[in-house]
């Protein structure tokens, strides 16, 4: 599995960005001239597969916090091994996902999931993993939970806040609180 401090792999994936078939799909890259995330933090979270039960609750919760992530110059991307067309169908048919403000990326070849070391070989799906990547493309946070257990997007936001202070932050630190000072 990729480690904290390592470069997040380059990706070039199709994303589903709306419910309208005519404008639903857009390419997303994190490198080169077409980098969609220049000088931004990236919060990339992976879910096992579409049309499941735990996943839409997490995806919707990230969507509800999207403005707060954007206020911190962070872009959210959700990723699964499903195709863009499956993402589109799920967005159209699940009320929680109708108006997602971030792209649902398709890692249908499982290359990114495999390169990150989060491909569940028994199930053939991405594990429930979250990454915070700084503007230089360096992984600063990783969290992986059991396929059956949803994560807490508010905790991911809290960790992003702490990372952006570039200071020492104690347990349960929240934005606006004092950081630790070395004597």
Positions marked active-site:
55
CA 90 centroid distance within chain: 18
Measured CA angle at 31 (ends 97, 4), to 5 deg: 80
Task: Report how far apart, in Å, the C-alpha atoms of 163 and of each of 60, 91, 147, 157 are.
Answer: 24, 32, 26, 10
Give the three-class secondary structure for 180: strand
108's CB contacts (< 8 A; 6+ apart) are 81, 82, 83
Strand segments, DSSP code E, in the chain are: 12-16, 25-29, 41-46, 74-80, 104-106, 119-120, 125-126, 128-133, 139-145
Residue 104, CB half-sphere, CA atoms under 13 Å: how many? 33
Say which residue the tokens 């609750």 belong to: 57
């Amino acid at each position: 599995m990729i480690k904290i401090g390592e470069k997040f792999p380059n990706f070039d994936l199709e994303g589903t960005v709306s419910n309208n078939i005519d404008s639903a799909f857009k390419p997303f890259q994190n490198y080169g001239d077409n980098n969609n995330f220049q000088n931004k933090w990236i919060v990339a979270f992976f879910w096992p597969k579409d049309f499941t039960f735990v996943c839409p609750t997490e995806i919707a919760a990230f969507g509800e916090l999207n403005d707060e992530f954007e206020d911190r110059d962070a872009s959210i991307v959700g990723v699964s091994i499903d195709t863009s067309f499956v993402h589109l169908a799920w967005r159209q048919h699940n009320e929680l996902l109708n108006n997602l403000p971030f792209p649902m990326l398709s890692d249908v070849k499982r290359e990114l999931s495999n390169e990150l070391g989060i491909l569940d070989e028994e199930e053939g799906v991405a594990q429930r993993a979250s990454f915070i990547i700084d503007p230089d493309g360096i992984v600063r946070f990783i969290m992986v939970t059991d396929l059956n257990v949803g994560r807490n997007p508010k905790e991911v936001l809290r960790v992003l806040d702490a990372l952006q202070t570039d200071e020492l932050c104690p347990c349960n630190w929240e934005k606006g609180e004092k950081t630790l000072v070395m004597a």
